[in-house]
Structure 1
Amino acid sequence: MPGKEERSATWRHFVESCRNYVQEEWIGLRSRLRFRSVVGEFRRQLSGRTVVVLSAVVPVAAVGAAVVQSHINRAPFAYMVYVNGIYVGVTPDIHSVDRLRNRLGPEAQVDVRSVHMALPASAAEQFWRSLAASPAVPKVYAVYVNGKPVVAVATEEDARAAIERVKALYTPPGGHVDQVAFREKVDFNPVDRWNGATVRTVDEAARILQQGTNVQKHYLVSRGDTLWTIAAAHNITVDQLQAANPQLANPDEIQEGDTLNLNAVQPYVHVEAVQTITREVAIPYDVQYRDDSSMPTGQSKVIRDGAEGRKQQTVRIYYENGRPVREEVLSEQVHQDKVDQIVVRGTGPAAGYAGPNWVWPTTAHLISSPYGEWRGSESHPGVDIAAPYGAPIYASNGGRVIFAGWDSGGYGNCVRIDHGNGVVTIYGHMSQVLVSPGQAVAQGQVIGRVGATGEATGPHLHYEVHVGGHVVDPMPYS
């Protein structure tokens, strides 16, 4: 039921409308009956006959009442609208009521009372304006990104929760987090529920802010899958696959049964975080060479093994949507010095000579992906040796460089060495190439540095051997 205040406002509107109509009718009637002459006669009769006054007033009152009743009967229908029992306005357009019901949704009770009422031409427009100020029309909160509304939620608390949830998703774990903030301007404001906005839950709003509105495809990881094989099978790059899966702390540790997103998302927001951590890192050892003219070129001998050093670093890491984009070393302290490896290499005749023995092509020995490992539709043609970024890469035997540079087939920075007798070795994903095509190299000579160029998920050396143009197991050639 409408409240007393609403009934009073409605009645005042009705009475004002009737009064205006009576005035207009009365003016017309006065003109048609030559009211001036009637008034003159009335005044003459008034000069001594009180009874005449009453007989004149009664017809006039009757005329007024008749005019009011005529106005009521002839006025068009108008519609008094109530939302959840509260009066919100009056409109001449029943379709406005239908639109209001659609916009408020089934959770709002919209009632209508039809009345005869003359309304001004601007009544329909005024009806919609009155809704914005009415406490009966529920509000929602729109989350804005750089001034553009992106998603609506039910309450101010939901808006805050959705924003904080996105921040929490991209807050780096461990260490001291100095700052977590949006690159964009993100805020929220109340808006009218009747404007047609779809109200989302906190989870839905956070997902929209994080991922945009793209529909994602998913992939269930199988035994033997790697990011490289999954990306290749779905015609996307490893970088795109990683961008679509920011939850992967270590891309090399995907497991059977994991679910991955396959399309790179276009988020509405970018969360920038700064974290300060302390970590222990290895100090790669270098290789010192001593020339020996009595040893044929291409032959070498290790006379002192190398050993990595250890140091503690305090590092400030900058993240964007959970992915580190750059680092700043604030301080470091060496706990254990590195020991360089010493290698004697021959400088005698037979440059480019490949001896009967082969050496391991880098300082590390951990094989992260063996030869022949099945990768979707093909097997791995070499071995992947996990090694620190920048670690030296050695020629496994003497020979001549036939390629040195960028390989577009996925190897990144790459060196190929011809050792004669149809034997060619390939060294991929280098961060730095240190030899040139046509150059003769000796066994154990540094030809580059470990990196992660090309189709690589982390720093490692891809070592591959061809004999007679065919891929073979590289382990006997190391």
Structure 2
Amino acid sequence: MSAQSPWMLPPVLAFTLPALMLSACIPSASERRTSAPPPAAAPVPPPTQLATWDAQTVSPDARTVSATQYVVRSGDTLSGIARTTGASVSTIARANGIEPPYLIRPGQRLDIPAGRYHEVRRGETGIGIARSYGVDWSDVVTLNRLEEPYILRAGQRILLPGANRPNGNTRQLRAAAFDLDIDDIVTGGEPALAENEAPTAPVRTASRALPPDAAVRSPANFAGRFGWPLTGPILAPFGAGGEGERNDGINIAAPRGTPVLAAADGVVLYAGDEIRVHGGLVLLNHGNGWITAYANMDDLQVTRGQRVERGQFIARTGTSGQVDQPQLHFEIRRNRQPVDPAQHLPDLT
């Protein structure tokens, strides 16, 4: 039997070594799920979408209602009384201490609150309404006690701030008086639906963008567990900073183009750059009042109404917005209030 060449492997090793090398290159199922694609494999960015609040013009034709009283007649309903008087169901109910399901009785004397009331039309958004009157949408939310999922209904009347404020001035001046922020998009970015119309189910991919007049169905049963969207040095922590400034999230440094991952399963509430300070911004709705925000990004890879999974590639870090180095501004909000992400993210050690 001839001597074995020093360059030849024993038969067993010759068979097993390639298999071991191949298996070492294949990530586990969890690694495949949370790892971002390399730059060369990045998906094609979704088409630019018209913001829902720019899709339909809102006419500032609010009706001014004087304070009066109404005596309930047989067959009356609170919604019918609201239509007759021009006020809203919610304001009449609050003024008279009436709780859902808003039962009233003949002969009952109701106080009708004074104010300016806008009647919502299908497709209008809270942001569009606020811009058309030059008012703060958060004031409207508070005044009308609007609640999640923050979807208005056609025919609904909402009370506007400033009972004696006219509807005058040009549309440009009224729009300029409105300052858009994240909370406005969360509470006033979805288009109004018909009274009995159901919200639209999320889409699977960014290539199937929803029309701007479709309101997106909110996820349910979220437990509030998040993963890091990326890791890196913390440039600015949550909370109060110098010169009276406050950070509603954390700022994480990363090289330009670093993939940013969804922190949890959810639905894209917004993807765009209409808020100047935040630049490229994605808002994810996780349900049960939980929202995450990803700002100062480039190359947005998701679209409004798209369902995403935890660890999914949604954008890349950049310098969009008012920052001077590549980074991610990341926020977690619970029932509209920013909370410290560090209290909800896993320990990296």
TM-score, with length taken from structure 1? 0.27
Normalized per residue, the structure richer in strand is 1
Whose relative contact order is higher, 1 or 2, with alpha carbons under 8 Å and at least 6 apart?
2
TM-score, with length taken from structure 2? 0.36
For the pair shown, which has the larger CA radius of gyration, 1 or 2? 1
Normalized per residue, the structure richer in helix is 1
